[in-house]
Structure 1
Amino acid sequence: MTLQDQRVVVLGGTSGIGLATAQLAAGQGASVVVASSNSSSVRRALASLPRPATGQVVDLTDSRAVTAFFASLEPFDHLVFTAGEALTLLDVGAMDLARARQAFELRYFGALGAVSAAVPRLRPGGSVVLTTGAAGDRPGPGWSVAASICGAMDSLVRALAVELAPLRVNAVKPGVVRTPLWQDALDYGETADRLPVRRVGEPEDIAAAYVYLMNQPYATGSIVSVDGGHVLV
């Protein structure tokens, strides 16, 4: 199956995993819309995507802006949410609750708000693909907030799959990926040596899972892990 003649909206689709997903979907014949809060990032993304791709600047933590964004779109087939910010690693012994709440604002509440606003525009037979993370299954010290977000996303996917049926709702669970969001948090070489695949992920590795879930008509409530074996070691 391919995404030929389908419309795909990728929130956070201007860099990293999101951009790789938009590029792969466009390569399968989809018409892609990308959105980000950074105008220069939107321009760079559009330069790498084929026509008729379009892009908009949207603050995904602003519910009014998100509602207006979806109201401006024609009906579409798939929503992908990959938006995120630099990882929030916080020591429980010196917890900054304001930062912890802020970390949930985009990754969890941003995703939930986007789905709520997008549902009226999603065509029958369409899907939503959200993003969780391997930290929820195998956290380390300092990962209490990040792991909690992942756990919340896992539960959200299953609940939405039931509530929004027959619309399909799934998620991708990446491990360590070579993107700007990870570069200051981990040593890629050290991490790669510990993984069974002996390398960290590339955005294209993870993008393939999002496109698979868009194309798979019998998958809903599913969370596809693409983590290089992170949970095994």
Structure 2
Amino acid sequence: MAPLKGQYLLIIGGSSGMGFSVAKLALAGGAKVAIASSSANKVSGYVVDLADSDPEASLEQLLAEVTGGGQQPLDHIINTAGRGVPKPIAEINLATANELARLPLFVPMLIGKLAPRFLKTEGPGSNSSIIFTSGQVAEKPIPGYSVLAAYASAQHGLARNLAVDLAPIRVNVVAPGPTETEMWGEHREVIKKMVVEQSLLGKPASPDEVAEAYLYLVKNTDATGSIVSSNGGATLK
């Protein structure tokens, strides 16, 4: 396992939830961390709006800023940005499907395209990686989630093929189950009750628990094309 100390991580979506927990634990391990969020009010790092008209240009600008124009390359890029909003298949048209695919599918593709220019790939101790965030719905169907399941599953295929195309850069995915974050909002208690009934462990995950899956993939220099699930056994019921 490679030590965290001295490694440079960019966490997109790192100002809250799982991304914030990854940042917190990485800092505790001695890593240097940059975080990026779509809201300037929530971030003490960089702002990137992946919902704008040109997400590729926004990502490229972010990566250039974080690395000083490539002079200080990153060791790892972790993408936790995105909010899964289920849309019934009966309400889908091509335009809606394209827009819903932006964060879970098109943005990861663009990260795969741009990342090699800003990641450390040479020299002793090189251990560069990209980590995407999928979800349990890629492994177990949930009523009403056909569209999101398609994108979550596509991330698995994308990561495995990018692991081939971008080697020696490692590409992996974390697939969390229900995780108690700010996204639950005012429905927190209702969601938590449902999760308790579905989980073999009788509880939702905490962001800190899921964050350990990301750090495992950061440190394990043998892991590429891997899907790491953290779902409390929900896919087994």
Do Structure 1 and Structure 2 share a fold, with TM-score over 0.5? Answer: yes
Task: State the alpha-carbon separation in 2 of the partners of residues 200 and 33 from structure 1.
Answer: 28
Q: Does 1:98 align with 2:88?
A: no
Could you tell me which of 205, 208, 231 is aligned with 2:209? 205
SS at match of 1:40: coil
Asked if the contact 2:112/2:162 (under 8 Å) is kept, the reply is no
SS at match of 2:75: strand
CA distances 1:166-223 after superposition (whole Å, capped 9, x unpaired): 1111110100111233455962112212210100111111100000100001111000
Could you tell me which of 81, 84, 96 is aligned with 1:83? 81
Asked if the contact 1:60/1:114 (under 8 Å) is kept, the reply is no
Equivalenced residue count is 221
The 5 Å alignment of 1:111-130 reads 111-124=108-121, 125-130=127-132
SS at match of 2:216: helix
Asked if the contact 1:176/1:201 (under 8 Å) is kept, the reply is yes
| Structure 1 residues without counterparts, runs of 5 or longer | 44-54
> Which amino acid is 2:37 matched to?
S
Q: Does 1:109 align with 2:110?
A: no
Q: Which moved more, 1:98-107 or 1:144-153?
A: 98-107
> Which amino acid is 1:202 matched to?
S
Task: State the alpha-carbon separation in 2 of the partners of residues 223 and 165 from structure 1.
Answer: 17
Aligned residue number for residue 5 of structure 2: 4
Asked if the contact 2:88/2:147 (under 8 Å) is kept, the reply is no
Task: State the alpha-carbon separation in 2 of the partners of residues 92 and 213 from structure 1.
Answer: 34
Shift of 1:97: 4.4
Aligned residue number for residue 164 of structure 1: 166
Aligned residue number for residue 56 of structure 2: 63
The 5 Å alignment of 1:170-189 reads 170-183=172-185, 184=187, 187-189=191-193
> What TM-score results when the alignment is normalised by the length of structure 2?
0.88
Could you tell me which of 222, 226, 230 is aligned with 1:222? 226
Could you tell me which of 141, 144, 147 is aligned with 2:143? 141
Task: State the alpha-carbon separation in 2 of the partners of residues 167 and 161 from structure 1.
Answer: 7
Tell me: CA distance 1:101–1:202, structure 2 relative to 1, closer, same or farther (3 Å).
same
Task: State the alpha-carbon separation in 1 of the partners of residues 118 and 86 from structure 2.
Answer: 36
- Of all paired residues, the percent bearing the same amino acid is 35
Q: Larger strand proportion, structure 1 or 2?
A: 1
> Which amino acid is 2:25 matched to?
L
Shift of 1:117: 1.7
Task: State the alpha-carbon separation in 2 of the partners of residues 171 and 93 from structure 1.
Answer: 29
Shift of 1:15: 0.6
Asked if the contact 1:36/1:42 (under 8 Å) is kept, the reply is yes
| Structure 2 residues without counterparts, runs of 5 or longer | 122-126
CA distances 1:55-94 after superposition (whole Å, capped 9, x unpaired): 1001124211111111221211011010012x22122233
Asked if the contact 2:133/2:174 (under 8 Å) is kept, the reply is yes
SS at match of 2:149: helix
Aligned residue number for residue 38 of structure 2: 37
Task: State the alpha-carbon separation in 2 of the partners of residues 201 and 65 from structure 1.
Answer: 32
> Which amino acid is 2:159 matched to?
V
CA distances 1:126-183 after superposition (whole Å, capped 9, x unpaired): 1111111110111222101110111110000100000011111111010011123345
CA distances 1:100-143 after superposition (whole Å, capped 9, x unpaired): 32221112111221232221111122111111111011122210
SS at match of 1:39: coil
